[in-house]
Chains A and B, each alone.
Chain A
Amino acid sequence: MSLEAFKTRVLPVKDKLFRYTLRILKNEDEAKDVVQETLIKVWNKRDEMHAYENMEAWCIRVARNLALDKLKSKHNKSVDIDNAYNLQSSTQSPYSSAEQSDTMSSIHHFINKLPNLQKQVIQLRDIDGFSYQEISDILKQNLNSVKVNLFRARKQVREQLIQVNAYGL
């Protein structure tokens, strides 16, 4: 694959990769680093690319592994990622600006608070629009587990959304 072909075929995935890694890492700089690392890895393995049916899903899988490695090393440094995120939320959340509603910011927060697997499933399905099979391949989970996690994630977000609307919590 030539560099030009890489630019047109692979590079556009960067935004999906960034959104996904940001959801896992909750840190913009780290997510950027992971996306860059992912794309370099993909470039170095461009000869194997034809073996993968779904290039996008393959890229996300590579990014996922790198992001989880980063998250592990972060945990080892005993960083409270939620607190770290909250401190930087004014620059990271796309819904923190004045024109975005509070409810949108709340939804962003609800999803970030979900267990890791549920968070990834809802991101991949409801935001990035992957099929259940693709999510199953990316996360290395069986289809049933993907659906169960998605069901729980949606239910949790829905319940919190109802609470916000009812009590303004």
Chain B
Amino acid sequence: MDSKRIDLLLERYWNCVSTQEEEAEIKAYFNSKVEIPAHLKSTAPLFQYFTKEGEVKMLDKAFDHDLIEKLKQQPKKGKERTLGQSFQNYMKVAAVIALVIATSFVFRMEIWQDDKPELFLVEDTFKTPEEAYAETKRALMLIASKMNHGKREVKKISILSKAESKIKGNRDKNSTATLN
């Protein structure tokens, strides 16, 4: 490789526009036994370092042995476990579906019960209007009698409150008299 070619590749390298192949070419050049031009002698160790560093192997067979033993001790991913896991997942899905069905069933029942009174409202309770009139009258009379009874009780309470206010008024008069 001529000096111009390597200068060009190095320029591309420093600007981070070189390809992996070009970088491999630079490494190969500096690791070969060719006479390196004086102006490139300072750069050579860098690429020699990259190559040597890439060849460093510090993990021996003992490491491999320890690792393989540890891998053998790892819990196996058996079929039973996978089936168990998938069964659990299916159960989860089934539970959610059951919950949705139950909720919708309860919801529908609620709606159905709400609809029911409306159906009864349109139904007649008595066969003739006279019968209905008599029943209504009876019901109103009952309400009126209960109300009258209630009014009498309220009257008693009003007497009590009048008496209370009178007592209060007398007390105020006595207290002003003693002050004077």
Q: Determine if B64 and A11 form an interchain contact, defined as CB atoms under 8 angstroms apart.
A: yes
Q: Is B155 an interface residue (CB 8 A)?
A: no
Within residues 49 to 105 of chain B, which ones have a CB less than 8 A from any CB in chain A? 49-50, 52-54, 56-59, 63-64, 66-68, 70-72, 74, 77
Q: Determine if B67 and A39 form an interchain contact, defined as CB atoms under 8 angstroms apart.
A: yes
Contact of A104 among B13, B52, B66, B74 (CB under 8 A): B52
| Contact residues in A for B31 (Cβ distance below 8 Å) | none
Q: Determine if B42 and A162 form an interchain contact, defined as CB atoms under 8 angstroms apart.
A: yes
Range of interface residues on A (Cβ < 8 Å): 35 or more
Q: Determine if B24 and A129 form an interchain contact, defined as CB atoms under 8 angstroms apart.
A: yes
Q: Determine if A104 and B14 form an interchain contact, defined as CB atoms under 8 angstroms apart.
A: no
Given contacts A15-B59, A131-B20, A151-B15, contact A108 B74 (CB under 8 A): no
Q: Is B16 an interface residue (CB 8 A)?
A: yes
Complex Cα distance, B20 from A150, in Å, reads 14
Q: Which residue of A lies closest to B56 (CB)?
A: A94
Q: Is B144 an interface residue (CB 8 A)?
A: no
| Contact residues in A for B74 (Cβ distance below 8 Å) | 40, 43-44
Q: Determine if A154 and B13 form an interchain contact, defined as CB atoms under 8 angstroms apart.
A: yes
**Beta-carbon contacts of A75-118 to B below 8 Å, as 1s and 0s?**
00000000000000000001100000101100110000000000
Complex Cα distance, B63 from A104, in Å, reads 28
| Contact residues in A for B49 (Cβ distance below 8 Å) | 95, 104, 107-108
Contact of A165 among B16, B20, B24, B42 (CB under 8 A): B42
**Beta-carbon contacts of B134-168 to A below 8 Å, as 1s and 0s?**
00000000000000000000000000000000000
Minimum CB–CB distance for B174 against chain A, Å: 86
| Contact residues in A for B14 (Cβ distance below 8 Å) | 154-155, 158
Minimum CB–CB distance for A119 against chain B, Å: 13
Minimum CB–CB distance for A150 against chain B, Å: 5
Q: Which residue of B lies closest to A39 (CB)?
A: B67
Minimum CB–CB distance for A16 against chain B, Å: 9
Within residues 19 to 37 of chain A, which ones have a CB less than 8 A from any CB in chain B? 19, 22, 28, 32, 35-36
Complex Cα distance, B43 from A157, in Å, reads 10
Q: Determine if A36 and B42 form an interchain contact, defined as CB atoms under 8 angstroms apart.
A: no
Minimum-distance CB pairs A-B, first 7: A165-B42, A103-B45, A107-B49, A151-B16, A126-B50, A127-B54, A127-B53
Which residues of B come within 8 Å of A, CB atoms? 13-16, 20, 23-24, 42-43, 45-46, 48-50, 52-54, 56-59, 63-64, 66-68, 70-72, 74, 77
17 chain-A/chain-B pairs, Cβ below 8 angstroms: A7-B68, A14-B63, A15-B56, A18-B58, A19-B54, A32-B59, A36-B67, A36-B70, A95-B52, A104-B49, A107-B46, A107-B49, A126-B50, A127-B50, A151-B16, A157-B46, A158-B43
